[in-house]
Amino acid sequence: MSQVAEAGAGISARGMQPLTIVGAGAWGTALAVLLARQEQEVRLWGRDGDAIDEMARVRRNQRYLPGVELPLSLRPMADLRTAIEDAADVLVVVPSDAFAQSVAAIAAIRPQLSSLAWASKGFEPGTGRFLDDVVTDHFGHDCARALLSGPTFAAEVARGLPAAVTLAGTDSVFTQQLAQRFSGSSFRVYTSSDLLGVQVAGGVKNVLAIAAGIADGLGFGANTRAALITRGLAELTRLGLRLGGRAETFSGLAALGDLVLTCSDDQSRNRRFGLALAGGASVDDAVFQIGQVVEGLRNTREVMRLAAHNAVEMPIAEQVFRVLFEQCPPRDAVHALLARELKAESE
């Protein structure tokens, strides 16, 4: 039986008690807007005090979501203590390399926090650890933990376009309460208890999106993209199962859904990064062109570290690594994939 269940309509959210989102980038702002439109009190904290002051004044996030008005129940805040000290729920939405620092800052203010959620995708830089491990470092295993993940672009969620996501957590009550809080007429939340599997999917899919961008940038066409997505899902699933994730997770929104989205649409920063590399840009120049965090670049090393440690073959991710860190020309990387030994599709 599937472990993924739709959040029940009978589960009550935490009323109008404030929820704090830590991280005022595009995704954090979009989620804050989503909640505020449902007349919930939302606090949005960002580390750039000047940007937060501007958001409060003009009621827009001019850098990340310039065309989206911030509802009045959304309160931008520059002081973290004020933002979280009496919040009912805290959701961390920062890049993976800023996650540990953000969680440590929260723990310094509320060391006995009983629950924490995040919408960050990736692994801890330098170690390859899951972000869940970072949370338990500070709050222990008794802290209820949950990850919101799935096929979403911030701009579309902020515009109120329909979307569906997975919320994976360690505590069913907390997960259901949070799912009910986020669910609305245009945002559907499904719950899961496979937090590990959802974390693997969110970290690996960005690496595969770089590969998709490279292939499309080289003009290899729709056939190649379809093959890359399918075989990419196979290696993502191999790693996820080896690490303890559940098979059904990898055919769901957080894996297959998010992989298709980020590999096929140019709103994806990772895909655009791959397109730039295929066009001849250096890694540094491609990052500059994107102008925002490219999580796949940051997580490729960690994905390959996990694959090597667990003896999992990940040929697409391996070729992305060669392009990013071994100066392999993108076209050579694609041909290396095509030249691999023939084998059964199930392998």
Length of the chain equals 347
Local structure of 306: helix, strand or coil:
helix
**Burial class of residue 192 in the structure, from the number of CB atoms within 10 Å of its CB (0-12 exposed, 13-18 middle, 19+ buried):** buried
Among residues 174, 212, 199, 211, the alpha carbon closest in space to that of 324 is found at: 211
CA distance 52 to 65: 13
Residues 163/186, Cβ–Cβ less than 8 Å: yes
Q: Give the Cβ contact number of residue 49 at 10 Å.
A: 11
Tokens in use for 230? 């399918």
Active site residues: 205
Residue with tokens 């059964």: 344
User: Which DSSP symbol is given to 184?
Assistant: B
Dihedral (C-alpha) 274, 280, 281, 282: value to the nearest 10 degrees?
100
Residue with tokens 């004020």: 82
Gyration radius of the chain's alpha carbons: 20
Local structure of 65: helix, strand or coil:
strand
- DSSP for 257-292, written as a single string: IHHHHHHH-TT-HHHHHHHHHHTT--HHHHHHHH-S
